[in-house]
């Protein structure tokens, strides 16, 4: 019985560990807990059809710059928006007159929100074909070139059917 209680307690403790610590280790430097929520409008892991639009809920504890980048099922990464947001919760649906319309390839779509407290690095765009590790390295390079002291990365996913 004590073992079960101990396991439950440990499970609760691990649920309390901030997400940024784990993600920060992946990128090789410490991240700040600025992005407190990031998910598609239908929830993480939801399914969308080709041609539909996706929106993203993002909550920030500080004002700053957000870059949205995706890694599609074919391993192609691309940046699809850059915005300056105030602290609080926002619903991102695309630049004025546009929307985040979904296109093939079908399958898993990983989306990253990258927070910096400085403007986006000039001349650097997240674009190319990457493995998961390559995409992490490119994200690290992006953040390092921003010169930002406060930085955070959150990732979510959904499926295109």
Is 30-160 a CATH 2.60.40.1930 domain? Answer: yes
User: Looking at residue 20, what is its pLDDT?
Assistant: 38
Residue 83's alpha-carbon distances to 3, 32, 110, 150, 159, in angstroms, are: 48, 19, 19, 16, 24
User: Looking at residue 25, what is its pLDDT?
Assistant: 44
Tell me the C-alpha distance between 154 and 156, whole Å.
7
Return per-residue pLDDT of the chain as tens, 161 residues.
443 333 333 343 333 333 433 444 456 567 889 999 999 999 999 999 999 999 999 999 999 999 999 999 999 999 999 999 999 999 999 988 889 999 999 999 999 999 999 998 778 888 999 988 898 999 988 888 888 989 999 999 999 99
Q: Contact at 8 Å (CB) between 95 and 153?
A: no
Question: Strands, DSSP E only, in the chain?
Answer: 35-40, 47-48, 56-60, 64-71, 76-85, 88-92, 107-116, 127-129, 151-160
**Which pTM does this prediction carry?**
0.81
Write out the two tokens for 48: 């969308």
């Amino acid at each position: 019985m004590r073992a079960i209680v101990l396991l439950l307690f440990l499970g609760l403790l691990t649920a309390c560990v901030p997400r940024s610590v784990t993600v920060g280790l992946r990128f090789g430097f410490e991240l700040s807990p600025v992005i407190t929520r990031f998910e598609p409008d239908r929830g993480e892991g939801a399914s969308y059809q080709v041609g539909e639009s996706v929106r993203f809920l993002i909550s920030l504890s500080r004002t700053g710059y957000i870059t949205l980048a995706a890694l599609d099922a074919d391993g192609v990464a691309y940046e699809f928006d850059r915005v300056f947001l105030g602290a609080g919760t926002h619903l991102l649906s695309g630049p004025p007159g546009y929307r985040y319309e979904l296109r093939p390839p079908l399958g898993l779509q990983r989306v990253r929100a990258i927070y910096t407290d400085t403007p986006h690095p000039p001349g650097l765009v997240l674009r190319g074909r990457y493995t998961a590790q390559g995409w992490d390295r490119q994200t690290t390079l992006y953040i390092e070139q921003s010169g930002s002291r406060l930085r955070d990365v959150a990732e979510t996913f959904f499926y295109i059917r």
